[in-house]
Structure formats: structure tokens, C-alpha cells
Amino acid sequence: MTPALRTEGLGKAFTLHLQGGVRIPVLGGVDLTVHPGECVALWGPSGAGKSTLMRCLYGNYGAGSGRIILRHRGDELDLATATPQQVITARRETLGYVSQFLRVIPRVATRDIVAEPLVARGMPRQEAAARATTLLHRLNLPERLHSLPPATFSGGEQQRVNLARGFAPGYPVLLLDEPTASLDAANRAVVIGLIREAKAQGSAIIGIFHDAEVREAVADRLYDVLPHQDAA
């Protein structure tokens, strides 16, 4: 089976320009493969580079070396060398990312924040709003909050808005950074259900799951992110 996403020799180092150009190698030689319907959990000690790897995969950080091959529009797209326009298209159609924290857009209602990626993919606005509402209910976000901007929501409420937005489109590849960090047991169980359903529908998932119960419930295998001394 063709992988949904794979990296070849991915490396990343940070250069601290305000600290005399000190170079911090983080990732090196990362060969990660995830297939449709599979969930891979990134594993490794604090500071090993798990979040950095996620951000490289989504294109938030440029890769220092190597390739990030995404199966996109029936072809291969190397995100490490893709143009900004190609990255935007890949994010709209193929690659989703649920970060730990919601970046709130002022004055936009929660329902619209969740519906937006569906509308961007061409779904009629009313249908997108209905799907958003269903997901928000499933994640136990009370109806009275759906029409409010989430700026004043609690951490757990904001995380659930973020999750609804990330799961709504059914992306072929979905990146999850600590998706249950701020959630109670009932909502953790909902997220486990959403991940399992996404896998059953063929999504490839890469996640950081510090919660062992969630990790064991969804991950098919672990990928070791090792502290690296020699990164690009």
C-alpha cells in the first residue's frame, strides 16, 4: 500500500540568531511512514523533538534536510520543497493538524470556526454548519456556546473546538498534538472514538499522546523520536 505520508532523512536544527548564532540540532535522519487507516504515536523523552517533527510535517517549520512526501491529489508532494501555495492547497484538501491550543480568530463564532475548513473544501455553508453542530454536540460543547467566539472559553472547551475543526473534514492525513491534554475522562473517550472512526474511514494519523490510556487505545505502533546531536 502507498504510504499516506513518509519522511526520508528528515533533519531540523534551530539557529538562535540573538544568541550569537548558537545552533541547536533537534531532528536527524527521521524516516517515518504512515499508511491510510493507521495511527502512529510519536514517542520519546521530553525535548526529543516530537512537537518540532509535527510542525515540520505541517510545514510550520522548514525542514533542514530530507524529504516529506505527502500523498496528495493522487500524486506525491514533497512538503520540504513545496511552494507556499502548494502547502496551502495540501492543508485544505489533504493534511489536517490539531495543535494543543486554539489560535482564536476574534469575533468569529465557534460554529463558523469549525465549519470553515468544510466551506473551504466546497461544502454549502448550511451543510457545513450542520456538520459543525453535530461534532460540537458530540464533544459535549453546550449549544449556547456555539454562536460565541471561543476567546473566553476554558482550556478544555477551546481544545474541543479545535478537535471539532480538525476532525470535521475527514482529512486523509491528520496530525494530533496532545489532543486530550485538557480533557476530562468523558471527552477523552469521545476523542478515542473520533480517532478510531477516522482510521476506519482511511485516515492516516500521527499523534503525540502523553496519556497512556489514549495512546494504547488508538496507536498501532510507536515511532521513536531520539534526541539528536547531528541534525541538519
Contact residue for ligand ATP among 14, 120, 123, 190 (CB under 6 A): 14
Short-list 10, 67, 47, 58, CA closest to 231? 10
Residues 31-90 that bind ligand ATP (CB under 6 A): 44, 46-52
Short-list 110, 153, 106, CA closest to 129? 110
Contact between residue 210 and residue 178 where contact means Cβ atoms under 8 Å apart: yes
Residues 149-208 that bind ligand ATP (CB under 6 A): none
Shortest CB 226 distance to ligand ATP, Å: 10
In the complex with ligand ATP, the residue whose CB is nearer, 52 or 203, is 52
Decide: is 222 part of the binding site for ligand ATP (CB under 6 A). Answer: no
Say how far apart CA 191 and CA 42 lie, in whole Å. 18
In the complex with ligand ATP, the residue whose CB is nearer, 76 or 224, is 224
CA 68 to chain centroid: 15
In the complex with ligand ATP, the residue whose CB is nearer, 50 or 71, is 50
Short-list 178, 165, 226, 223, CA closest to 3? 223
List of residues contacting ligand ATP (CB under 6 A): 14, 24, 26, 44, 46-52
